[in-house]
Amino acid sequence: MFMSLTHQQTIDTKNELKQNFELSGLSVNDLASALGTTTATIERTMNLDANHIEDPWIIKNYLEKKIVADGNRPVKFTALVGDYHQYWFLNSRRIEKARL
């Protein structure tokens, strides 16, 4: 599913998700509840072992919004960048629903 990421991009994306998760102040339970899923799904997605290619984008977007709403600055992503609407392989409607 994430074969388009290089090995280094995969490592970086996992770290960026983890850092932003920590900055958000949320627990895994909080994040799972907000995204309508289980803690196991959150943990798999944070490790880029997601059911859908859009799932890391959903977490990324949620965490960034939460961090900014709290008056902080999120860690920038190096691979999950740009407008997801412009990536032909992503289902933007799935991302917009913000549900895993």
Residue 36 is assigned to a structural domain of this protein: yes
**70 pLDDT higher than 90:** yes
Residue 1 is assigned to a structural domain of this protein: no
H or E element in which residue 45 lies:
helix 39-46
**Residue with token string 């799972």:** 32
The domain in which residue 66 lies consists of 7-97
* Number of structural domains in the chain: 1
Residue 52 is assigned to a structural domain of this protein: yes
Q: What pLDDT, on the 0 to 100 scale, is given for residue 19?
A: 98
What is the pTM for the complete model shown?
0.94
Residue 11 is assigned to a structural domain of this protein: yes
- Which residue has better confidence, 1 or 74? 74
Residue 75 is assigned to a structural domain of this protein: yes
Tens-digit pLDDT profile for residues 17-60: 999 999 999 999 999 999 999 999 999 999 999 999 999 999 99
Residue 2 is assigned to a structural domain of this protein: no
| Average of per-residue pLDDT across 57-82 | 97
Residue 84 is assigned to a structural domain of this protein: yes
Residue 82 is assigned to a structural domain of this protein: yes
